Structure 1
Amino acid sequence: MEMTRYMTKRPRFRSADIQAYTCFQQGRRLSREWMKTSVEKARRLFERAVKLDAGYAAALGGLAVCDAFLREWRNGSAPNGGYAIRALERDPLLPEARALELLREDRSDDARREFARAMAIEPDCYETNVFYALFCRSVGDYETAIRHYVDAAASFRRTTRRRTL
Structure 2
Amino acid sequence: TEDIITDLSKISGLHVIARNTAFTYRGKSVTMTQVAQDLGVRFVLEGSVRKAGERVRITGQLIDGNDGSLVWADRYDRDLTDIFAIQDDITHTIVSQLEVRLLPEEKAAIGQAPTENIEAYTYYLRGRHYLHLRTRAFLTLARRMFARAVELDPQYARAYAGMATCDSLLASWHQMEISVDDILATTGRALAIDPDLAEAHAARGLALSFANRRDEAAAAFARALSLDPNGYEANYYFARFSFANGDLEAAARHFIRSIEIDPNDYRSPLHLQNLLPSLGRPEEGERYARLGLERAEKALMEHPEGSGPAQLGAAALARLGERDRAKEWLARAMAIDPDDIHAQYNAACVYALLGDIERAIDILESYLAHASGERKRWFIHDSDLDPIRDHPRYQKLLEFTR
In the other structure, the counterpart of 2:241 is 135
In the other structure, the counterpart of 2:194 is 91
1:153 is the counterpart of 2:247 = no
Q: Which runs of 5+ in 2 are unaligned?
A: 1-48, 50-55, 57-82, 92-109, 265-402
In the other structure, the counterpart of 2:117 is 17
One of 164, 167, 181 as aligned partner of 1:67: 167
1:126 is the counterpart of 2:232 = yes
Change (3 A) 1:144 1:45: same
User: What residue identity is the alignment partner of 2:220?
Assistant: E
Change (3 A) 1:12 1:71: farther
Q: CA RMSD in A?
A: 2.5
Q: Is the 8 A contact 1:102 1:110 kept in 2?
A: yes
User: What residue identity is the alignment partner of 1:59?
Assistant: A
Q: Deviation of residue 11 (structure 1)? A: 6.4
Counterpart-to-counterpart distance in 1, 2:165 and 2:125: 14
Q: Deviation of residue 68 (structure 1)? A: 1.2
Which structure exhibits the higher relative contact order, with contacts defined as CA atoms closer than 8 Å and separated by 6 or more residues?
Answer: 1
Q: Is the 8 A contact 1:13 1:58 kept in 2?
A: no
Change (3 A) 1:84 1:12: farther
In the other structure, the counterpart of 2:146 is 46
Q: Deviation of residue 77 (structure 1)? A: 3.1
Counterpart-to-counterpart distance in 1, 2:114 and 2:189: 17
Q: Deviation of residue 105 (structure 1)? A: 4.6
Q: Secondary structure at the match of 1:150?
A: helix
Change (3 A) 1:74 1:92: same
Q: Deviation of residue 146 (structure 1)? A: 2.4
Change (3 A) 1:38 1:12: farther
Counterpart-to-counterpart distance in 2, 1:5 and 1:126: 26
Change (3 A) 1:92 1:127: same
In the other structure, the counterpart of 2:61 is none
Q: Deviation of residue 44 (structure 1)? A: 0.5
Bigger strand share = 2
Q: Deviations over 1:99-148 (max 9, x none)?
A: 23433553211211221121111011011112111211221222222221
Counterpart-to-counterpart distance in 2, 1:64 and 1:121: 18
User: What residue identity is the alignment partner of 2:192?
Assistant: E
In the other structure, the counterpart of 1:163 is none
Counterpart-to-counterpart distance in 2, 1:11 and 1:75: 40
Change (3 A) 1:149 1:11: farther
In the other structure, the counterpart of 1:144 is 250
TM-score by length of 2: 0.36
User: What residue identity is the alignment partner of 1:153?
Assistant: I
Change (3 A) 1:18 1:153: same
Counterpart-to-counterpart distance in 2, 1:11 and 1:157: 29
How many residues of Structure 1 are paired with residues of Structure 2 in the alignment?
158
Q: Is the 8 A contact 1:23 1:48 kept in 2?
A: yes
Q: Deviations over 1:61-105 (max 9, x none)?
A: 000110111122134733635211111111111321332343355
Deviates more, 1:118-127 or 1:29-38: 29-38
In the other structure, the counterpart of 2:215 is 109
Q: Deviation of residue 53 (structure 1)? A: 0.3
Q: Is the 8 A contact 2:235 2:257 kept in 1?
A: yes
Deviates more, 1:89-98 or 1:16-25: 89-98
* Max Rg structure: 2
Percent identity (aligned): 34
TM-score by length of 1: 0.82
Q: Deviation of residue 56 (structure 1)? A: 0.5
Q: Secondary structure at the match of 1:14?
A: coil
Q: Secondary structure at the match of 2:262?
A: helix
Q: Is the 8 A contact 1:99 1:112 kept in 2?
A: yes
